[in-house]
Amino acid sequence: MNVIIIGAGGHGQVVADILQAVVKSGRSSIRPIGYLDDQPAIPPSARLGLPVLGPVARLSHYDHQGVIVAIGHNATRSRLIQQLCEQGEQLISAIHPTAIVGGEVIIEAGTVVCAGAIINPGSHIGRGVILNTGCTVDHHNRIGAYVHIAPGVHLGGDVTVGEGTLVGIGATVMPQSQVGVWSIVGAGAVVTTPVADRCTVVGVPARPI
C-alpha cells in the first residue's frame, strides 16, 4: 500500500520514521512514498529518504492507496482530515512497533502512536489523534478526535479528553477527570478537577488562566 504523508515538518518526519519502522518489523506492507506540504519554505529535498512531492493539491497526481495527516496543530489537522475524507481518501494510522496497546483498545483512523507510548485496556482513541513519545493512557480512557497528548503525559484511568484538546508535555491528568473540547492543559500541569471547554489551565494543581 502506497501512503502519502501530509506535512513535511518535524512531526511529518516522526510519522515517516514510524512507518519505516513498521515496515522493517514486518508488521505491515505500508510503503510511505513521500510528503505533500503547502508551506513554501519547505524545500523539495529528501527527508528520511522520502521526497517532498509538492503542495497538497497535487495529491491526485501520485499513485497511492492511503494518506496520513502529520501536522501537529490540532485545528489544521482536523480541517485537512475532514477535507480528505470528503474527497474519499483512505486514512491510515501509524503505530510505532515499541508502543504497547492493551486489549479491547479502539484506535480510529488517522491516529499516530509514537515510540514508547502505552495505551491500557478498554481505551478508545478517536480519529486523527496524536499520542506522542512516551505518553501513557491508562485503562478505559476516552480520547476525542484531533487531540494531541504530548510527550511524557500521564493520563489516569477513566479519563475523558474532549475533541481538539492539547495536553502539554509532562502533564498529569488524575483518574476519572474530564477535560473539555478544544482546551489546553499546560506543560507540567496536574489536572485534579474538571477542565471546561475551550479553556487553558496551567500549574499544580491546574487552574484556568
Cell of 73: 496543530
Mean pLDDT of all residues belonging to the chain: 96
Tens digits of per-residue pLDDT, 34-64? 999 998 767 667 788 899 999 999 999 999 9
Contact by Cβ (8 Å): 128, 145: yes
| Residue tagged active-site, from 64, 96, 139, 148 | 139
Contact by Cβ (8 Å): 150, 167: yes
**For residue 161, pLDDT beyond 70:** yes
In DSSP notation, 83-110 reads: HHHHTTPPB--EE-TT-EE-TT-EE-TT
| Sign of the CA dihedral running 19, 22, 27, 31 | positive
Q: What is the pTM of this model?
A: 0.95
Task: State mean pLDDT over 22-45.
Answer: 85
Question: Which value, in Å, is the radius of gyration of the alpha carbons in the chain?
Answer: 17
Distance CA 126, CA 106 (A): 8
Tens digits of per-residue pLDDT, 167-208? 999 999 999 999 999 999 999 999 999 999 999 999 999 999
Tens digits of per-residue pLDDT, 68-101? 999 999 999 999 999 999 999 999 999 999 999 9
Vertex 116, ends 50 and 30: CA angle to 5°?
Answer: 35
**For residue 126, pLDDT beyond 80:** yes
Q: Check residue 44 and give its pLDDT.
A: 66
Q: Are strands 142-143 and 124-125 parallel, antiparallel or unpaired?
A: parallel
Residue 139 annotated in active site: yes
Q: Which residue has the higher pLDDT, 44 or 108?
A: 108
| Nearest residue to 58 via CA among 37, 30, 86 | 37
Q: Check residue 121 and give its pLDDT.
A: 99
Distance CA 111, CA 108 (A): 6
Q: What domains sit in the chain, N to C, each tagged with a CATH number?
A: 2-92 (3.40.50.20), 93-200 (2.160.10.10)
Contact by Cβ (8 Å): 71, 77: yes
Helix locations, the chain, DSSP H: 10-25, 74-86
Non-local CB neighbours of 29 within 8 Å, separated by 6+ positions: 1, 23
